[in-house]
Amino acid sequence: MNAAANPTVSTAATPTASAAPAAEHGLDGRHLPVVVVGGGQAGLSMSWHLVRAGVEHVVLERAAACHDWADRRWDAFTLVTPNWQCQLPGYAYDGDDPDGFMTRDEVHAWLRRYPATFGAPLHEGVAVTSLRERPSGGFALVTTAGQLTADQVVVATGGYHRPVLPAVSYRLPDDVVQLHSADYRSPQALPDGAVLVIGSGQSGAQIAEDLHLAGREVHLALGSAPRVARRYRGRDCVAWLHDMGVYDVGIEAHAGGLSKRESTNHYVTGRDGGRDIDLRAFARDGMHLHGRLESVTPAPGGGAHLRFARTTAASLDAADAVAESIKDDIDRWIARQGIDAPLEARYVPVWQPPAPQDEDVDLDLRAAGVSAVVWAVGFRADFRWVQVGVFDGTGAPTHRRGVTAVPGLHFLGLPWLHTWGSGRFAGVARDAAHLADVVVQRAVRSRAA
């Protein structure tokens, strides 16, 4: 769905760096051993390895390096992983709160310092509009700074490109403000009234919390996202899982294999030093929880009636079950390793929804005073500019640890590129190290030929 076609739906404008004239970049007509597309943490991590190996390359970034951290996070955003996990090649968190959680602005500032630490050949404000194979070998790239060719290309633009807004959003009335989670900034930026958040993954749960803490009346439509406790038995759960090697297990070793790439991350927060997100506690304190959104019916004379599935209890129970199963795994690890860790009582639900047959599944937006809807239902990858046959029927690139079947074309920075940890800074660093070996070896062979 093209959200921009619906005037009632807000979408973030594509940010741009201060664009220099194309000639000032000195790219037009050049041939390079490697071109890295994307100047976020993944592309810069690859560049670090290439600089170290002496492989000539450029990093092309359509906007400003690492701009997503400033442009697609809300004002109160914090990391959900501890600062000590913020490790990129040759560059680690060096602040005074390793067990804390950096804010949006702190993460952005930390990342913006990275390119200068190793002299990254970074070109900001240069968008790649087309990537094709050359009949003679290698690749041809069309950019806003001219055309160039390369022996190898690393696509490091991530996998979250286009905000998903379901077709049912068109059925909401014009007087209800709609925006994607990527565009949400603060409770104060929304009109007065109740807010409906649709989706309970990491972004949806944290945005619902942000609104709830600000005293807004919140309705939250739950999905199938799992949750995890912030801390258990004296440590952050991330630290336990790190020691257990959970973030190191390759995707092929997981039940379901490649389908894991479609899984939803666990919701938790790093806000105020880090804590659980307990949706039951929010409900006890006045948040309205609903099941999965099923339909929207415009009401005569304006407004709309929403209908939800009778899944509230099932969603909460499933999320709690995942959190408790992770604690079970931690308990077994502690026992096997003989670790002296304090015992901790298990979670007891603080609120129960009505039984499914008694659940109120209808919501009249106007009667409920809902003035805004935040769609927290994810993103869709958009690689249409990569005009090379490496994609499956869903438009996702097919690869093995970032290496495609087309010689010289690679992907980096995708969720679950190889492990669950691939979505975290330390995992990006590890993926970049592995892929850089492939890229450098190929570059060396090409030089020798």
Q: Is the model's pLDDT at 218 over the cut of 80?
A: yes
Q: Is the model's pLDDT at 217 over the cut of 50?
A: yes
Over residues 9-38, the mean pLDDT reads: 71
Longest dimension (CA), the chain: 74
Predicted structure pTM score: 0.93
106 vs 157, 245, 387, CA distance in Å? 21, 28, 36
pLDDT in tens, 401-412: 999 999 999 999
pLDDT at 21: 65
Identify the domain boundary among 340, 375, 410: 375
Question: What sign for the dihedral angle of Cα 18, 24, 29, 30?
Answer: negative
Over residues 179-189, the mean pLDDT reads: 97
Residues 219 and 238 in one domain: yes
Q: Cα–Cα distance between 26 and 382 in angstroms, integer? A: 28
Residues 350 and 390 in one domain: no
Share in percent of the chain as helix, strand, coil (round to 5): 35, 25, 45
pLDDT at 359: 95
Domain holding 90, by residue range, is: 3-161+379-448
Residues 420 and 358 in one domain: no
pLDDT in tens, 352-382: 999 999 999 999 999 999 999 999 999 999 9
Residues 210 and 356 in one domain: yes
pLDDT at 10: 34
pLDDT at 20: 56
Q: Cα–Cα distance between 285 and 122 in angstroms, integer? A: 49
CB 174 within 8 A of CB 369: no
Identify the domain boundary among 322, 346, 375: 375
pLDDT at 255: 63
Residues 84 and 114 in one domain: yes
Over residues 164-190, the mean pLDDT reads: 96
Residues 194 and 85 in one domain: no
Strands 139-143 vs 146-155: parallel, antiparallel or unpaired: antiparallel
Tell me what the pLDDT averaged over the chain comes to: 93
Question: Which residue matches tokens 């005009």?
Answer: 387
pLDDT in tens, 29-43: 999 999 999 999 999
Residues 58 and 87 in one domain: yes
Q: Is the model's pLDDT at 315 over the cut of 90?
A: yes
Residues 357 and 391 in one domain: no
Over residues 144-172, the mean pLDDT reads: 95
In the structure, what pLDDT confidence band is assigned to residue 420 with cuts at 50, 70 and 90?
confident
Residues 345 and 434 in one domain: no
Identify the domain boundary among 375, 397, 413: 375
Residues 352 and 242 in one domain: yes
Q: What is the CATH number of the domain that holds 89?
A: 3.50.50.60
pLDDT at 19: 52
Q: Which residues contact 247 (CB under 8 A, 6 or more apart)?
A: 241, 419, 420, 421, 424, 426, 427
Q: Is the model's pLDDT at 228 over the cut of 60?
A: yes
Residues 260 and 367 in one domain: yes
For the chain, the domain total comes to 2
Over residues 46-57, the mean pLDDT reads: 98
Over residues 265-277, the mean pLDDT reads: 96
Residues 361 and 394 in one domain: no
pLDDT at 9: 37
- Tell me what percent of the residues of the chain surpass a pLDDT of 90: 88
Over residues 79-97, the mean pLDDT reads: 97
- Tell me what percent of the residues of the chain surpass a pLDDT of 70: 93
Report residue 242 as tokens. Answer: 């790190």
Give 182-214 as a DSSP string.
GG---GGGSPSSEEEEE--SHHHHHHHHHHHHT
Q: Which of 107-111, 254-258, 292-296 has the lowest mean pLDDT?
A: 254-258
Residues in the chain: 449
Over residues 132-139, the mean pLDDT reads: 97
